[in-house]
Amino acid sequence: MVRFRCLILIAVVAALGGCKPAPKAASGTSPGETESERPEAISVIKSGGAPAKRPTVPPPAEIWKEFSGDKAFEEVRRQVEIGPRPSGTPELEKARVLIEESLRRSGWEVERQVFTTETPRGPVEFINVIGRFSATGAHPASRKTQRALVCSHYDTKRFSTIKFVGASDGASSTGALLELARVLALDPAMAAQVELVFFDGEEAFVQFTAPDDPKPDGLFGSRYYARSLTADGRAAQFKFGILWDMIGDRDLTITLPPDSPPELSRGVLSSAEALGLRQNFGFFARTILDDHEELRRAHIPAIDLIDFDYVYWHTAGDTLEHIAPESLQKVGAVTLHYLRQALAK
């Protein structure tokens, strides 16, 4: 999970991984970036795919009502039951396989975006998982129809002193994103406009640094993905991006960063109001450094739907008993409502 930018005691910094200074706009390759980090050196493994022909069934008029908190929770459970899932471990590969299998069941085409970069623990291979949908069933799915991004990180922070399974911090948004994939498939034309991304390497190995630091720590997957979009000339096709992180808290309080793009904030809050869920959405007191920042550095307006008011953040208490299907359902429904409105324009 992320850190908010503030001044805190050294003891807290050591326990939680540190605070972040505000990022600066990216331009080209950062100093210290290895050859394998560069977008032009991208390595992908494509798998899965859509059926040859899609049935012409009218999509649900109120598609947000199709999102099941219970189904999302079961996806969360599957992730958590693996145990801790830090980047570069066999456990994260198990989580990745579950993500890919679920996406394919819902008719999404899956791409692995593989890259290796230096970390404070040495070189590590990271793998982003990307889902795209073909409205017609053509294979491979077009890379030009997508206008919105919805993202989550699926790794958990590495701890040596506690067993950290990241039920809310990593698994909640990942499980909910898989349920979002199932629901979006009910409206193929809408699904084809959305790119789903599961980021590896959100968590810092030691302590977060500024994104433009010569040796950055944290946000590895989103940084590489955003740079690849720019290198491929695809960044300009996206109207906006929505990041989910820590959305499972039983006492759901989505804390939007105060520097969120105004139009996105208004749209999300308007959708929450329309669904009678405005009380669960507000603003945080401080800015938050999370994967959405890397999208913004690629000039994609992006918002972070995150419950940072979560007492179990980065503790052994971040377990299934502290998250609720109802919270997942609320975030999923609001996001679907907003996507329907925004992508209809």
pLDDT over 90 (residue 265): yes
What whole-number distance in Å separates Cα of residue 194 and Cα of residue 215? Answer: 32
pLDDT band, residue 54 (cuts 50/70/90):
low
Predicted TM-score of the model (pTM): 0.87
* Residue 53 tokens, joined: 């022909």
User: CB under 8 Å to 109, separation ≥6 — which residues?
Assistant: 46, 48, 49, 50, 131, 132, 133, 134, 139, 140, 141
**Which tens digits make up the pLDDT trace of 94-145?**
999 999 999 999 999 999 999 999 999 999 999 999 999 999 999 999 999 9
- What are 183-209's pLDDT values in tens digits? 999 999 999 999 999 999 999 999 988
What is the pLDDT of the chain when averaged over all its residues? 88
First-last CA distance in the chain = 33
- pLDDT, residue 32, reads 35
Q: How is residue 182 written in tokens?
A: 């199932």
Between CA 177 and CA 183 the distance in angstroms is 10
- Tokens representing 96? 């990745």
Q: Residue 323: pLDDT above 60?
A: yes
Joined tokens for residue 339: 């996507």
Neighbouring CB atoms inside 10 A of 7's CB total: 6
- Residue 139 gets the label, from left (phi > 0), alpha (psi -120 to 50) or beta, of beta
Could you tell me the CA-to-CA distances from 15 to 9, 246, 260 in Å, in that order? 10, 19, 28
Four-CA torsion 343, 72, 173, 76, nearest 10 degrees = -160
Percentage of residues of the chain with pLDDT beyond 90? 80
What angle in degrees, to the nearest 10, is found between the helix axes of 69-80 and 173-184? 130
- Residues 6 or more apart whose CB falls under 8 angstroms from that of 340 comprise 63, 64, 190
Angle separating helix axes 90-105 and 69-80, nearest 10 degrees: 150
* More confident: 197 or 40: 197
> Which pLDDT band holds residue 36 (cuts at 50, 70, 90)?
very low
Could you tell me the pLDDT band of residue 213, with boundaries at 50, 70 and 90? confident
**Could you tell me the two tokens for 4?**
């908010």
pLDDT of 11 above 80: no
> Is the predicted pLDDT of residue 180 greater than 70, yes or no?
yes
d(CA 302, CA 291): 9
Distance (Å) of CA 290 to CA 73, 124, 129, 148, 217: 23, 20, 18, 18, 12
pLDDT surpassing 50 at residue 45? no
Whether 15 has a pLDDT exceeding 70, the answer reads no
CB-based contact 75:179 (threshold 8 Å) = yes
276: region left, alpha or beta (phi > 0 left; psi from -120 to 50 alpha): left
Which pLDDT band, with edges at 50, 70 and 90, does 211 fall under? confident
| pLDDT confidence of residue 345 | 82
CB atoms within 10 A of CB 316: 12
How distant, in Å, are the alpha carbons of 63, 188, 292, 306, 335 from that of 329? 12, 21, 21, 14, 10
Mean pLDDT, residues 139-164 taken together: 97
Domains and CATH numbers, the chain: 3-24+45-343 (3.40.630.10)
pLDDT at 210: 79
